[in-house]
Amino acid sequence: MSIGIAPPAHIGAVAPALAGERPASLWGDAWRRLRRNRAAVTAALFLAWMSATAALAPWLPMKDPAAQDLALGATAPSSAHWFGTDELGRDAFARVIYGGRISLLVGVVGTLVSLLIGVTWGATAGYRGGRLDEAMMRFVDILYSLPYIFLVILLLVFFSRSLVMLFVALGLVQWLTMARIVRGQVLSLKQQTFVEAARALGATDASIIFRHIVPNTLGPVIVYTTLTVPAVILQEAFLSFLGLGVQPPAASWGTLVSDGARLLALFPWLVIFPGIALSLTLLSFNFLGDGLRDALDPQDRSDVA
């Protein structure tokens, strides 16, 4: 029994890959199903393009995002500055591209942190069971019951406000759901024969957890991860709204958008362009996540058979 929240059922609904029973075919089927989902494919292509642009930004021919021109100030989009300039006269196009670097990095690394903690915690609790499971999950319940904003403000107050700590803080408030999903999966997996077999062969608990059980929870974990990335990006944007985002002069999409929204009436281009980049990225992650969920659902054979 759990006091807290059940993991989102649509994720738990993805049944575990039945290890030992030709997983290759399962992944192959999933891949085929995913490719038929036009929305998910478009989303994946967009994300690939966005990530490539962000990653290669320093080598792309564009203006220095930090170069200021105070006398110029904020100007509307023009041929010299495609997305216009901000109040310090910086090129908004370069700021949006570089903002993508930070937002995507925060989203991915924050999610990885949550993944690392969540999977380890959930798998350990689920596999060991008993008192330890009870205690570990009760701890998750307690953190769940603290208001999110309270937790994240205090985490950011405690740690110095560096980019790395932002990753950690966002990861630290995100891992709870992941832990619950993984635990639920592990509880049902550990009864299965291949785990029994590994144990009989004298494998240690750690190796059973990480070599046999965790890989088999991959389906739901991948789906949830894809949906966590946009959530983390959005949370970073929310922190930027509170002034707790990345340290300037670095700017994430969240920073750009929350600053821009305040001056919407004066300089609309400062919210429109980063806003579009942010929204399309979030939308794509969500579509991709939903597509993966549909694809990895082994019960859904209707369109493959």
**Does residue 146 contact residue 133 with C-beta atoms inside 8 Å?**
no
**Does residue 72 contact residue 89 with C-beta atoms inside 8 Å?**
yes
Residue from 114, 185, 230, 273 touching other proteins (CB under 8 A): that is 230
Site string (183-222) toward other proteins, x via CB under 8 A: ----------------------------------------
Residue from 282, 288, 292, 296 touching other proteins (CB under 8 A): that is 282
CB crowding 118-143: b at 16 or more within 10 Å, else e:
bbbbbbbbbbeeeeebeebbeebeee
Residue from 197, 205, 249, 304 touching other proteins (CB under 8 A): that is 249
Residues 66-125 that bind other proteins (CB under 8 A): 66, 68, 70-71, 73, 87-88
CB of 275 vs other proteins, minimal distance in Å = 6
In this complex, which beta carbon is closest to other proteins, that of residue 213 or of residue 221? 221
Q: Is the dihedral of CA 242, 245, 250, 253 positive or negative?
A: negative
C-alpha pair distances (Å), 35 with each of 38, 41, 52: 7, 6, 21
In this complex, which beta carbon is closest to other proteins, that of residue 23 or of residue 298? 298
CA distance 270 to 259: 8
Residue from 61, 130, 147, 202 touching other proteins (CB under 8 A): that is 147
In this complex, which beta carbon is closest to other proteins, that of residue 189 or of residue 244? 244
| DSSP designation for 85 | B
CA distance 180 to 237: 26
CA dihedral 137, 142, 148, 149 (to 10 degrees): -150
Q: Which region among 49-57, 134-142, 192-200, 214-222 touches other proteins (by CB under 8 A)? A: 134-142
Binding of other proteins by 35 (CB under 8 A)? no
Binding of other proteins by 41 (CB under 8 A)? no
Residue from 55, 148, 196, 204 touching other proteins (CB under 8 A): that is 148
Chain centroid, CA 62 distance in Å: 28
In this complex, which beta carbon is closest to other proteins, that of residue 1 or of residue 24? 1
Residue from 52, 55, 132, 154 touching other proteins (CB under 8 A): that is 154
Binding of other proteins by 32 (CB under 8 A)? no
177 in helix, strand or coil? helix
Residues 9-28 that bind other proteins (CB under 8 A): 9-10, 13
In this complex, which beta carbon is closest to other proteins, that of residue 210 or of residue 298? 298
Residue from 61, 130, 150, 193 touching other proteins (CB under 8 A): that is 150
Report residue 163: phi and psi, to 5°.
Answer: -60, -40
Residue from 17, 137, 209, 237 touching other proteins (CB under 8 A): that is 237
What tokens appear for 107 in the block? 């989203």
Binding of other proteins by 56 (CB under 8 A)? no
CB crowding 94-111: b at 16 or more within 10 Å, else e:
bbbbbbbbbbbbbbbbbb
